[in-house]
């Protein structure tokens, strides 16, 4: 006995200037002229994905399909053909779109952490003053500010953002040739 899939299979195709997503009876169209950003992502096990951002939502296309419990069907060849055609067509239709590699830039996450530690130090100092424990609050806030100073010292060694990719010539290291 074979069980029906939990979700209908999702297929993607290019139709003129639109990207079409078919999932069961549902169909969504994404106009490539409105594309804001296309990012390629590599995942564990050689799987890849492309993340697309449009004004009215996001779409993600993956290179592997689910074939069963712990089994994945490799569709990298057809995925690569679709993504290369999609990127080249989008470059023509949406000249303002950004093309790059997905991932959190180290400096961006670092700045968020620094901001949160700074806010935490200020809140700790404020709450300790209102609770009548100014000496303890000042000592703890000073230690948090010291950590901030150490983090500032590391900033010059953080790597820069990943460079943009050419949508008409995606490197084989990011997307294998079909």
What is the domain extent for residue 149?
A: 106-157
82 shares a domain with 36? yes
Whether 63 and 112 map to the same domain: the answer is no
Q: How confident is the model at residue 171 (pLDDT cuts 50, 70, 90)?
A: confident
Give me the pLDDT at residue 123, please: 95
Domain boundary among 101, 135, 170: 101
Asked if residues 146 and 115 have their Cβ atoms less than 8 Å apart, the reply is no
Specify whether the CB–CB gap between 165 and 40 falls below 8 A: yes
Please indicate, yes or no, whether residues 46 and 89 belong to a single structural domain of this protein: yes
Closest CA to 124 of 138, 105, 104, 145: 138
36-51: pLDDT as tens digits: 998 888 776 677 888 8
CB 45 within 8 A of CB 71: no
- 76 and 130 co-located in one domain: no
Q: Residues 36, 85: one domain?
A: yes
Structural domain count, the chain = 2
pLDDT tens-digit series, residues 147-160: 999 998 888 777 66
Whether residue 61 has pLDDT greater than 90 = no
CA atoms of 87 and 91, how far apart (whole Å): 6
- The 3 state secondary structure assigned to the chain is CCCCCCCCCEEEEEECCEEEEEECCEEEEEEHHHCCEEEEEECHHHCEEEEEEECCEEEEEECEEEEECCEEEECHHHHHHHHHHHHHHHHHHCCCCEEEECCCCHHHHHHHHHHHHHHHHHHHHHHHHHCCCHHHHHHHHHHHHHHHHHHHHHHHHCCCCCCCCCCCCCCCCCCCCC
Supply the pTM of this predicted model.
0.64
Q: Is the same domain home to 79 and 26? A: yes
């Amino acid at each position: 006995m074979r069980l029906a899939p939990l979700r209908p299979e999702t297929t993607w195709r290019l139709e003129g200037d639109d990207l079409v997503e078919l999932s069961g009876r549902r169909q969504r169209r994404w106009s490539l002229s409105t594309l804001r950003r296309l990012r390629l992502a590599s995942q564990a096990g050689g799987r890849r994905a492309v993340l697309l951002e449009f004004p009215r939502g996001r779409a993600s296309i993956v290179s592997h399909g689910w074939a069963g419990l712990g089994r994945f069907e490799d569709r990298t060849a057809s995925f690569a053909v679709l993504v290369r055609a999609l990127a080249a067509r989008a470059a023509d239709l949406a000249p303002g779109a950004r093309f790059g590699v997905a991932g959190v830039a180290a400096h961006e996450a670092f700045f968020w952490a620094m901001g949160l530690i700074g806010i935490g130090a200020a809140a700790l100092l404020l709450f300790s003053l209102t609770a009548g424990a100014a000496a303890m609050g000042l000592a703890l806030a000073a230690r948090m500010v010291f950590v901030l100073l150490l983090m500032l010292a590391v900033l010059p060694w953080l790597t820069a953002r990943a460079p943009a990719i050419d949508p008409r010539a995606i490197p084989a290291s990011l997307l294998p040739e079909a």
